[in-house]
């Protein structure tokens, strides 16, 4: 049932979340309001308990090995399904391969999940905590959207809203004047991301068969008609030039003079300057054609224009979005 795939969606979302808070600074000013110190607040990934334990191991202010404050830490703490953003599970997304631009890749619509994060702000001074908090809160009202490239193979980018859920403040200082004080603000966020399944190659439909039953009594033992259609390309993909025009052609002409009529086949499709034509007969170097096939436009063509054959090789190269025609037969 399952196959291996790994798009790193969760990892990319975690990194994007942490990047939001990676450039926060605090400033110290003197009595005249002049700034004498600018400190960039370090940010680490990990549980808050780990950093608190590190601080408690060296609680004295005169210890040179104690952890410096202020400091921030964030952690991915939960993952839940979000039914409010559910879409049809059988719907697919199709996109051209970003690397080649030819083959079509297909993936089922993503599944919505909410990722919970905690951002902890640890400071010694209350003013430091207030500076950090005030640089964060105005951007969340209560959500802030971040564009994340969730699936690299199809270059799928989505806006991931990050919602600020709540804020708590904790001050557990109970020691003497030589004991280190730690103020901690905890901000809880929810990132509304999407998880994608495996990406596969999308193949064009090769054959469509329709059975038609005219019996009104519900007896399907007799099949009256069966229609079979097969898609074909309506333009040349492999640049297979068969011959060239030997004279100018206007919008209404249906007899073309070509350089080599023997290179052209009757009852076959060709492309000339984006117009699809169907060759009905050949007489020497003159070919009789039907103009503007499969909703292409009849246009003027000048002497020397290339006439390209549309063959089965082109059908094998059908691209996504090609409004190919259908060859129908009844039997």
**pLDDT tens-place string over residues 175-208:** 555 556 778 899 999 999 999 988 877 665 566 6
Q: Tokens 């009905």 appear where? A: 280
Pair of tokens at residue 73: 């830490």
> Which one is predicted more confidently, 103 or 316?
316
Position 121 pLDDT exceeds 60: yes
**pLDDT tens-place string over residues 301-329:** 999 999 999 988 877 776 554 544 444 44
On whether both 174 and 318 belong to a single domain, the answer is no
- For the chain, the domain total comes to 2
Backbone angles phi, psi at 42, to 5 degrees: -70, 145
Per-residue confidence (pLDDT) for residue 69, from 0 to 100: 82
Q: Tokens 């564009």 appear where? A: 147
Beta strands 306-309; 325-330: pairing state: unpaired
Residue 208 lies inside a defined structural domain of this protein: no
Final residue of a structural domain among 161, 183, 201? 201
Question: In this structure, are residues 289 and 198 in contact, taking their beta carbons and an 8 Å threshold?
Answer: no
Write out the residue range of the structural domain in which residue 153 sits: 9-201
On whether both 191 and 254 belong to a single domain, the answer is no
Final residue of a structural domain among 201, 219, 249? 201
The CATH number that applies at residue 311 is 2.40.30
Residue 77 lies inside a defined structural domain of this protein: yes
d(CA 164, CA 159): 16
Could you tell me where the beta strands, DSSP code E, fall in 18-142? Answer: 25-29, 35-40, 43-45, 71-81, 92-96, 104-108, 111-123
Per-residue confidence (pLDDT) for residue 329, from 0 to 100: 45
**pLDDT tens-place string over residues 33-71:** 888 888 899 998 887 776 666 666 655 545 544 457 888
Strand order in the sheet with 225-232: 208-212, 225-232, 325-330
Residue 94 lies inside a defined structural domain of this protein: yes
On whether both 193 and 117 belong to a single domain, the answer is yes
In three-state secondary structure terms, 92 is strand
Q: How far out from the chain centre does Cα 86 lie?
A: 18
Question: In this structure, are residues 201 and 95 in contact, taking their beta carbons and an 8 Å threshold?
Answer: no
On whether both 138 and 268 belong to a single domain, the answer is no
On whether both 147 and 18 belong to a single domain, the answer is yes
Question: In this structure, are residues 78 and 10 in contact, taking their beta carbons and an 8 Å threshold?
Answer: no
In three-state secondary structure terms, 131 is helix
């Amino acid at each position: 049932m399952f196959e291996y795939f790994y798009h790193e969606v969760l990892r990319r979302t975690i990194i994007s979340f942490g990047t939001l808070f990676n450039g926060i600074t605090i400033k110290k000013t003197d009595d005249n309001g002049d700034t004498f110190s600018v400190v960039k607040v370090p940010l680490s990934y990990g549980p808050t308990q780990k950093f608190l334990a590190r601080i408690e191991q060296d609680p004295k202010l005169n210890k040179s090995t104690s952890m410096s404050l202020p400091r921030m830490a964030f952690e991915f703490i939960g993952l839940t399904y979000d039914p409010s953003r559910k879409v049809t599970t059988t719907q697919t997304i199709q996109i051209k391969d970003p690397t080649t631009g030819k083959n079509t890749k297909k993936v089922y619509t993503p599944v919505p999940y909410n990722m919970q994060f905690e951002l902890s702000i640890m400071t010694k001074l209350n003013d430091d905590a207030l500076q950090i908090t005030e640089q964060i809160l105005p951007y969340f009202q209560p959500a802030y959207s971040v564009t994340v490239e969730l699936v690299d193979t199809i270059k799928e980018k989505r806006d991931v809203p990050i919602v600020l859920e709540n804020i708590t403040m904790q001050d557990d200082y109970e020691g003497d004047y030589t004991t280190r004080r730690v103020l901690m603000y905890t901000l809880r966020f929810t990132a509304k991301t999407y998880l994608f399944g495996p990406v596969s190659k999308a193949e064009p439909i090769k054959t469509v068969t329709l059975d038609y039953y005219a019996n009104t009594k519900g007896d399907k033992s007799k099949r009256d008609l069966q229609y079979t259609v097969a898609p074909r390309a309506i333009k040349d993909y492999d640049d297979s030039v068969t011959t060239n025009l030997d004279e100018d052609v206007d919008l209404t002409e249906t007899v073309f003079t070509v350089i080599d009529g023997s290179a052209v086949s009757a009852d076959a499709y060709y492309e000339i300057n984006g117009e699809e034509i169907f060759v009905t007969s050949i007489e020497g170097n003159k070919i009789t054609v039907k103009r503007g096939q499969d909703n292409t436009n009849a246009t003027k063509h000048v002497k020397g224009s290339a006439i390209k054959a549309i063959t089965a090789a082109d059908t094998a190269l059908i691209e996504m979005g090609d409004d190919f025609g259908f060859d129908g037969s009844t039997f």
